[in-house]
A and B are shown apart, each in its own frame.
Chain A
């Protein structure tokens, strides 16, 4: 019962965010920092994905049409209209592992940086607290 109540509350929060997105689309359909950047961008209404050198386009991904903007080296168009089938061999293509490795490395780098910062901050705070206690022996750490 408690789970259902919490699930309903969580669903309501998610629905509110989705509704805010719909309202955003309706009222002011512009986004901050639009344009090329990151791993993908929109060119003439089509999503262009950036692949690392040597990686193959994903299943279903096709080069841009002849009239469209030619993708720069290392990029592949992702505007195919065909619906590819779900094959496990599509997922496990070793040549495209570079994409997954890049994402994992990016996340690992951010995690490492935050953990180092957090550990340093905690150590600093502990040292500062210890100094305060040493200076004023009457004060004891009640926590």
Chain B
């Protein structure tokens, strides 16, 4: 996907001004936060389960090459083909090649954020292959001129029912529906034809199970089954970090994933797909391919950002992020929004192409409180800020301000008179009401709120006087 993260500020401003989006985002956050809290409270031992999940994600990451080889061996033994892609372009190329080899004219896709990274629909389209999104949210976005998703599990959460009703009437040429049930039925009718005429299904992977060579898929709509069982060919496109050693690992993580994501104790569907259709079996693909993609992931291995690779893509961090709640996912400008996206995007597309993302966070810490695999997101965001400074990527005036402040703050003999003067100037600026309505160099503050003016004399100078008086 084309990176737009350098336009974060202007995109965020646009989203803040969009009253309809604000309403939709507010309703979503309230619902999903309440649902998650209730589902987590049902667990006997959330913290213990989290610890176990962290361990079960850390184990394969510590020896990723070995576990990938194990996965490849097991998957190959069951009739699948395992391919590796170093870049997004390579992954797209491999999938186009697979399509050509099998004479594929139509692809049906289950929801996959990695395919958004790759820009798979565009790549297939350029090769003359029709690619149809079959997740309801993704389908809505695709027929809306290939709009990108704004959330990793609820891709169309920025739209409300009325917008979808208008879009369906316009695109399908049918009378406008108002009930969600009618709208989903209409989508289902359109998609059914695609499922039946599809040559190849493409899915992502929630987990790759090394001991069995299986892919595990967590979904709610049933479209994934139609994509993996009906067509002749099944392609799994996954990041290399998705591997788990055992089925038991997946079972532990599944106690947390749906609960953290949607507040469900278990998703409507959990598919474990292993190998190709065996002789005598009624369904399943004749050919199964795994395209395992790096595209920046190995750059996180063994470094201070490795913990990010534990991510199980539940979306809890963005659901609970005060910034995401106000601007939605599109403002972030690439595939992954919210706190996890603000770590992944600079890591995958280049720190210099997403300078705002690590900065656009209050570091309130709620993301790490809810993260089921304890990724220290605020710490990682802060480390990215440090990398920006080290690489000279911050604006000169910001660096000058911080350097000047730090220079004075370590020199009390300089700092004391400066703060005494500052307190007096600010008091004067505050006038009678003690409020400053405009501050030079801090317009970002005063455009949106007053700055309460100081009373004029610093604590330290008053404290010294009191001490002198007493003494």
Q: Do A and B come from one complex?
A: no
